[in-house]
Chain A
């Protein structure tokens, strides 16, 4: 048998015993995004999977696959005919949660909405918000700079993305931001799935009310009015009210639930690497590239899901029709087949082929805005607080599922 070409040699690192010993579970056959061990060994697990496990399976709930290499993720993300978004992006989706457009739809419905929404978040449009975002960065820093310390997440990172999006794009009041941030966070990470549904329902209710109110107001020609105007689908029907509400919910989820993690992680990295602070302070023109590298290495979206519309083979594994498949963007961004030393942070990399903002037609619509927020944050922070460190005796805390989030980061200077 040994010369039979179909026998693949067993890799001692990926046997169930070796995996259980190292990661606490057989992550090839029984992965769990919500396992606290994944949260703790986040980098090690991603680096390992992208090298050794192109496809892994989970038995949790209704079960799901993860596909992990950059080539497979790109091919699947671009092939929406086989990997459909119409059945949702969350593994073990809470019952009764309405689908979120545009994320949980396929072309051509998806295309109609993106065509209308894109101009509101294009590079040209978000460039006009840059000064306002910069002013907000400084206003937040003013609140704590003289104190010589801050809890970065609650006092800055969880606020700036909401301020930037609500004030400039949605025209929503920022007073209710804390409630929405909490609703999205609990809706994503709560260990009890029915609790997730309850928190999401709260966010839906709030945003639907806002949309109803705006429908009674004169048009401002903004993103909300574009949503209210709706689109015509290819079959001639007009987009229903529920689709409009879900667009606003999806945008709000994206707008407040992700950028914080890149911000917090970048600031944490700089707090713990004085040479990197000096590098960026000495040459601020590196900051834009640094943000790409931080986004690559600190992905708030671990992966988002698709449902297969036919049997399909991915790196030698056959995935049946109707299976839930996660495109692990976080692994794809560390693929050693596409970059040198992916497990190292190097802000001078030339050309950073990362997948943090997704791939394919669902490419993050907020990516241009997120980049403005991140650039303004690092530029202003390093000017005003060039020396800072993690508060002695503390460490940042994290929570991970299909998203990753930083809960606390204590800083002092």
Chain B
């Protein structure tokens, strides 16, 4: 699965990385998603955690992209 993190919508709630730390990383500097504006891979084993992280994002900043 691939997901895209919206550069503008992400406002640094940090929920994604809390629930799926293997998938989502926060910037050390400001705490926003470090891959803002990027599309990243979600390993199959992490899909469940990633889904919880995505659901917890108050901005709906993370979307699954069709492969």
A residues with CB within 8 A of B = 74, 78, 115, 118-119, 121-124, 288, 292, 350-355, 357, 359-361, 363, 367-368
Interface check B57, CB cutoff 8 A: yes
Indicate if the CB atoms of A353 and B31 lie closer than 8 Å: no
4 other A-B residue contacts (CB within 8 Å) besides A351-B51, A355-B58: A119-B29, A119-B30, A351-B54, A353-B58
Indicate if the CB atoms of A124 and B13 lie closer than 8 Å: no
Q: A354-B58, A357-B13 are in contact. Are A122 and B51 (CB under 8 A)?
A: no
Q: Which of B40-67 contact A (CB under 8 A)?
A: 51-60
CB of A332 to closest CB in B, whole Å: 9
CA distance A352 to B55 in the complex (A): 7
Can you sample 19 A-B contacts with CB below 8 Å?
A: A118-B12, A118-B30, A118-B32, A121-B31, A122-B12, A122-B28, A122-B29, A122-B31, A124-B31, A292-B56, A351-B19, A351-B52, A351-B54, A353-B57, A353-B58, A357-B58, A367-B14, A368-B14, A368-B31
CA distance A354 to B8 in the complex (A): 19
Q: How many A-B residue pairs have CB under 8 A?
A: 63
Q: Among B12, B26, B51, point to the contact of A363 (Cβ < 8 A).
A: B12
Closest to B53 in A: A351
Q: Among A74, A115, A288, A354, point to the contact of B59 (Cβ < 8 A).
A: A74
Q: Is the interface of B mostly helix, strand, loop or mixed?
A: loop
B residues with CB within 8 A of A = 8-9, 11-14, 18-19, 26-32, 51-60
Within 8 Å CB of B59, what residues of A?
74, 78, 359-360, 363
Indicate if the CB atoms of B11 and A360 lie closer than 8 Å: yes
